[in-house]
Amino acid sequence: MEIQLLGTSAAEGFPGIFCNCDTCQDARKLGGKDIRTRTSALIDGNIKIDFPPDSFLHVLRDGKPITNFEHLIITHTHHDHFYLDDLRMRTPGFATDFGNPLTIYGNQTVVNRCKEKFSSLKAYFNIVLLHAFETYEIDGSKVTPLPADHKPDEESFIYFIEKDNRACLYGHDTGMFPEETFHWLSEQKIDVAILDCTNGLIDEKANHMNIAAIKEINSLFMEKGVFHKDSQIIATHFSHNTGLLHKDLKALLEPNGIGVAYDGMVLTV
């Protein structure tokens, strides 16, 4: 399984689109791994997780192949994860030779919005409702949605993805996992976990996690055997409001065996 992290920032981007705080000004000067776009990932080139407003920028940066996906899994409908307007660009009049219909998977809110938006374009989109703790076969992978602690007015999901006896936890957006999600995951084996670190050193573990929460999960899952000695734990979805640049995050996380995501990072599982 190959996982390409297309974007690794929280909703406002990093540096923040309108922000002139010291951290954002430093990020603009430094460039490189301190420039973060809104979060999304691509698995084996054909399963995309989330569709942020920066998807067009990702194509300009990474090239045409990342537009060839036929399956789109949505975590929740915040705009930085579900920018529906640009999906219309995958229809006649905006594009040609764009391949098979795109299958979009998500919760009831995702399904309702897609059906409303694409009511006259049904030939180009398949919409699939997902249910928590049910496992779905998607392009050779087994995908299980799990409840997240996030958007309270809809059933937000994180995802457990398995292929060729390897497993990835795509663990954001969420605060500390709900009890039923913890229980389900405690019976699994995880080779790579990509975890929410929006809040950095801010003392807040609800809705989004922080560094302390990731360390806690790391310790708990190591104790329970969910993580093994070769498991990769990667922190992502960073907010500039934490005041932490890439080097700062590495200094805080890497001594604990936790990697720091950056835009374009490729993980092989």
Q: pLDDT for 81-108, tens place per residue?
A: 999 999 999 999 999 999 999 999 999 9
Q: What is the pLDDT of residues 105-137, one digit of tens each?
A: 999 999 999 999 999 999 999 999 999 999 999
Sign of the dihedral through C-alpha 99, 100, 101, 107: negative
Say if CB 67 and CB 43 are below 8 A apart.
no
pLDDT of residue 130: 98
pLDDT of residue 159: 98
Average pLDDT estimate for 26-42: 98
Confidence of residue 166 (pLDDT cuts 50, 70, 90): very high
Q: At what angle do helices 246-253 and 211-224 cross, to 10 degrees?
A: 40
Average pLDDT estimate for 197-205: 97
First to last CA, the chain: 5
Q: What is the pLDDT of residues 43-52, one digit of tens each?
A: 999 999 999 9
Mean predicted lDDT score pLDDT of the chain = 97
Structural domains of the chain, with CATH: 2-268 (3.60.15.10)
- In sequence order, the 6+-apart residues with CB closer than 8 A to the CB of 179 are none
pLDDT of residue 6: 98
Confidence of residue 231 (pLDDT cuts 50, 70, 90): very high
pLDDT of residue 42: 98
